[in-house]
Amino acid sequence: MSKTTNSNTLWGGRFKEDSDVMVKRFTSSIQFDQKLATQDIMVSLAHAHMLNKIGILKRSELEKINSGLEKIKEEIESNTFPWSEDLEDVHMNIESRLTDLIGIAGKKLHTARSRNDQVATDIRLYLREAIDEIKIELRKLQISIITLARSNATTIMPGFTHLQAAQPIIFGHHLLAWNEMLDRDYCRLVDCLHRLNECPLGSAALAGTSFPIDRHMTSELLRFNKPTENSMDGVSDRDFGVEFCSFSALLMAHLSRISEEIILWMSQQFDFISIPDSFCTGSSIMPQKKNPDIPELIRGKSGRVTGNLISLLTLIKSQPLAYNKDNQEDKEPIFDTVETILSSLRIFSQMVPGIKPNIEKMFESASIGHSTATDLAEYLVRKGIAFRDAHQAVGGIVALAIERNTSIDKIELSVLQSFCSNIQEDVFDVITLEGSVKSRNHFGATSPEQVEAAARRALRRLEERGKEDC
């Protein structure tokens, strides 16, 4: 087998043979973990300040490290940094370059730490920053949905169970149901952040270090809530990544559900809504087509994110404590999940304001399927009829309507009374679509008044969150 000609000077002292070229390539992570370069520099700066405080680094050495790391940051940002696969990962690349720039002080930086606690800290910082971005984008999407809901607080549409017409509802009410799903996702994300925001730095390889380090100092410098309690757990567990991907998979499942409804509603069979041409494509062969590509893609990407969750769960499930090389495989699923979530939220937020309801078609569809039958049964209950008897009578009325190919509100009063003498002229106030939605005027229900109130509450929640995150 071919061998490399240069020993790895950062860890090669114990080895008599160089690594095989194929092994180096297989074990190298620099192709993807260079994404953590900014976080790695932040961690090194905090560690260096702590080493200076406890007397391991002189002030002059700290200043050299600071200036060297700043130079490296500039090189990375300008795409002039000399990344090397031989140096395996982002940590070794930066440390090697630092030593090239400032000499012996660069070799002292790794005192009292390991790549194990270094990468565990880097990935937590990366996710913390990503979560801050996701929170912003998720709020934007929620605002778009709530705004659309408020503008459709009187638009009537059919509500479905089993994809069969069930009861008339307000379109804005349906949209606010979307928001409630996303609102719970937001809360899950915040909860995930609480457990993620602990600092593993100082755990070293797995047992801590014999140097008198100040883990609380580095934790505070990096704005973590506290250091991790146990050094073995701190370097080896990736449950924070699993939890983030679990949130992400559920968020994408919700976006997929919403996308599915948009796709259905855009079809000619429903014709409930349209979305701007800019979020659709046509067909290469069928000139009439307007395809809902964006919601379809988001529906598809939900599977991708769910796959990333399964990857991470599988990654950790059989690892003995403490750190194992398996954990190198945590980054790509996490990076991909973050990028997928952010891009999906951003494009959804832009698409939602362009949704235009076909109000007439929605109303017409709501009138199909005898969706006010429940209203008629409840009307009879208010007239003193037991619910089961009312249910039986209304079932007969529906059967007659089907036979006549009409709707129950079009049946003559005298005919309705033949099923139940308690029915009076006022029945037509409740079995119309407008009467049905208006009657559901309690907290959480679908009346226009309640939809408007719910939208206001939802916006207030988002405003308060925005203040908290500032």
Backbone angles phi, psi at 139, to 5 degrees: -65, -40
Q: How confident is the model at residue 467 (pLDDT cuts 50, 70, 90)?
A: confident
What is the predicted pLDDT for the residue at 29?
86
**What is the assigned CATH class of domain 373-431?**
mainly alpha
Per the prediction, the chain carries an average pLDDT of: 93
* pLDDT tops 80 at residue 7: no
User: How many CB atoms sit inside 10 A of residue 192's CB?
Assistant: 21
Active site amino acids? 162, 283
Domain ranges of the chain: 12-111, 116-364, 373-431
Parallel, antiparallel, or unpaired for β 164-170 and 156-161? antiparallel
Closest Cα partner for 104 from 50, 75, 74, 61? 61
What is the predicted pLDDT for the residue at 444?
97
What is the predicted pLDDT for the residue at 47?
98
* pLDDT tops 50 at residue 306: yes
What is the predicted pLDDT for the residue at 26?
82
Note whether 391 and 374 are within 8 A (CB): no
| CA 201/CA 116 separation, integer angstroms | 9
| Sign (positive or negative) of CA dihedral 386, 391, 394, 399 | negative
The 10s digit of each residue's pLDDT in 384-404 is 999 999 999 999 999 999 999
| CA 21/CA 27 separation, integer angstroms | 10
Q: How confident is the model at residue 118 (pLDDT cuts 50, 70, 90)?
A: very high
The 10s digit of each residue's pLDDT in 59-108 is 999 999 999 999 999 999 999 999 998 898 999 999 999 999 999 999 99
What is the predicted pLDDT for the residue at 468?
75
Architecture of domain 116-364: Up-down Bundle (1.20)
Find tokens 């796709």 and name the residue.
263
Domain 12-111 superfamily per CATH: Fumarase/aspartase (N-terminal domain) (1.10.275.10)
What is the rounded average pLDDT of the residues 354-366? 96
Q: How confident is the model at residue 369 (pLDDT cuts 50, 70, 90)?
A: confident
Note whether 232 and 322 are within 8 A (CB): yes
Note whether 238 and 327 are within 8 A (CB): yes
* pLDDT tops 80 at residue 312: yes
What is the predicted pLDDT for the residue at 18?
63
* pLDDT tops 70 at residue 232: yes
Give the whole-number percent of the chain exceeding pLDDT 70: 94
What is the predicted pLDDT for the residue at 16?
60
The answer to whether the predicted template modeling score (pTM) of the entire model surpasses 0.85 is: yes
The 10s digit of each residue's pLDDT in 145-198 is 999 999 999 999 999 999 998 999 999 999 999 999 999 999 999 999 999 999
Give the whole-number percent of the chain exceeding pLDDT 90: 84
What is the rounded average pLDDT of the residues 270-287? 79
The 10s digit of each residue's pLDDT in 27-61 is 788 888 999 999 999 999 999 999 999 999 999 99
